[in-house]
Amino acid sequence: MAAAPKIKLYTSHLCPWAHRAHIALAELDLPYEEEIIDLSVPRTPEYLAINPRGLVPTISYNGELVTESGIVAQLLADAHPSHLLPPSNAEGGALRRARTSFFVDAYFSKVSSFSTKVVYGAGDVDAEALAPQFVEAVVKELEPLLQDAAPFFGGSEKLTQAEVLTGSFIIRLLAFRRAGLLPESFFAPLPEKAPAFWKWAQAVAAHPSVTRVFPEERIIEGTKARAAKLKAEKAKN
Ligand SMILES: N[C@@H](CCC(=O)N[C@@H](CS)C(=O)NCC(=O)O)C(=O)O
């Protein structure tokens, strides 16, 4: 067996993008060291030398620095072929990778903005007007792609790259509901109108690789603080 890679993850446990890397590492059972980057203060020159954009996550993989969560997750999946994502030269692999990418793209380009607007709009957006648009987007864009979920994407019993890339956002969606940051109107129609999505979302949010790094109270506190900051900045302009 090949030696385990030496991995260091520069992360914040509050960040959904960094959370993607944690989910992939958990699912691939890869040991890693982590360094927590405090996002509440300016980045140190040392961290800016590691990631000039100043964002988390960054991964050091056998000494090579890679940034951007989607690319970090891709590197991990490609370096460790597994149930997450087949190699492109495996039978059916290229098509499966395309289906996975399409699902992730559908979530981020067609669905996520409705909930994000409400959560970070700090009361300044009409949540009740956005809720039916969110539900409609879930029904139109995601529900058809989850018909064979078992309970994970593409008929998989185990998490896949689709969940690595969306799971941190799905678990937050449900946590924002519990915290009252998203109204019931976002969720009430889903069990009936998008039963496959609803079942999938519950399974994703309960999976140990998704819950492993998820300090819910701190995340809710941080989300409220960020929304308040954005509101104050808007009031100034
Ligand atoms: N496109 C980036 C986004 C990463 C990102 O926005 N990270 C946030 C935390 S969730 C960050 O590092 N923000 C720096 C800051 O707030 O100053 C990725 O996917 O890795």
Asked if the model's pLDDT at residue 122 lies above 90, the reply is no
pLDDT in tens, 63-114: 999 999 999 999 999 999 999 999 999 999 999 999 999 999 999 999 999 9
In whole angstroms, give the CA distance from residue 161 to residue 76: 10
Q: Is the CB of 201 under 6 A from ligand 1?
A: no
pLDDT in tens, 109-121: 999 999 999 999 8
pLDDT for 234 = 79
Q: In this structure, what token pair is assigned to residue 174?
A: 């449900």
pLDDT for 231 = 83
Task: Give the pLDDT band of residue 28 (cuts 50, 70, 90).
Answer: very high
* Residue labelled with tokens 């509901």: 177
Task: Give the pLDDT band of residue 2 (cuts 50, 70, 90).
Answer: low
pLDDT in tens, 6-26: 999 999 999 999 999 999 999
CA atoms within 13 A on the CB side of 163: 34
Task: Give the pLDDT band of residue 46 (cuts 50, 70, 90).
Answer: very high
Asked if the model's pLDDT at residue 194 lies above 70, the reply is yes
Residue among 175, 158, 182, 163 nearest 215 (CA): 175
Angle between helices 161-178 and 69-79 (to 10 degrees): 140
Tell me which of 10, 17, 218 to substitute to probe ligand 1's pocket, judged by most ligand atoms within 8 Å of the beta carbon.
17
Q: Are 139 and 193 in contact (CB under 8 A)?
A: yes
Neighbour-count burial of 82, counting CB atoms closer than 10 A to its CB (0-12 exposed, 13-18 middle, 19+ buried) = middle
In whole angstroms, give the CA distance from residue 209 to residue 175: 16
Can you state the percent helix, strand and coil of the chain, rounding each to 5? 60, 10, 30
Distance of alpha carbon 117 from its chain centroid, rounded?
17
Task: Report which protein residue has its CA nearest ligand 1's atom 6.
Answer: 55
Superfamily name and number for 7-79: Glutaredoxin (3.40.30.10)
Question: What percent of the chain shows pLDDT beyond 70?
Answer: 98
Give kind and range of the element (H or E) at residue 128. helix 127-137
pLDDT for 123 = 64
Asked if the model's pLDDT at residue 206 lies above 70, the reply is yes
Q: In this structure, what token pair is assigned to residue 27?
A: 């699912």
The Cα angle at residue 213 between residues 211 and 215, in degrees rounded to 5? 90
- Range(s) of the chain covered by CATH 3.40.30.10: 7-79
Asked if the model's pLDDT at residue 149 lies above 60, the reply is yes
- Range(s) of the chain covered by CATH 1.20.1050.10: 93-231
In whole angstroms, give the CA distance from residue 147 to residue 126: 31
**93-231 has which fold?**
Glutathione S-transferase Yfyf (Class Pi); Chain A, domain 2 (1.20.1050)
Tell me which of 14, 55, 104, 172 to substitute to probe ligand 1's pocket, judged by most ligand atoms within 8 Å of the beta carbon.
55
Q: Are 59 and 75 in contact (CB under 8 A)?
A: yes
Give kind and range of the element (H or E) at residue 35. strand 33-36
Q: With H, G, I as helix, E, B as strand and everything else as coil, classify residue 179.
A: coil
Q: In this structure, what token pair is assigned to residue 211?
A: 């819950």
At residue 212, what is the residue type?
R
Task: Report which protein residue has its CA nearest ligand 1's atom 16.
Answer: 39
Task: Produce one character per residue of 27-48: b if its CB has 16 or more CB atoms within 10 Å, e if not.
Answer: bbebebebeebebeeebeeebe
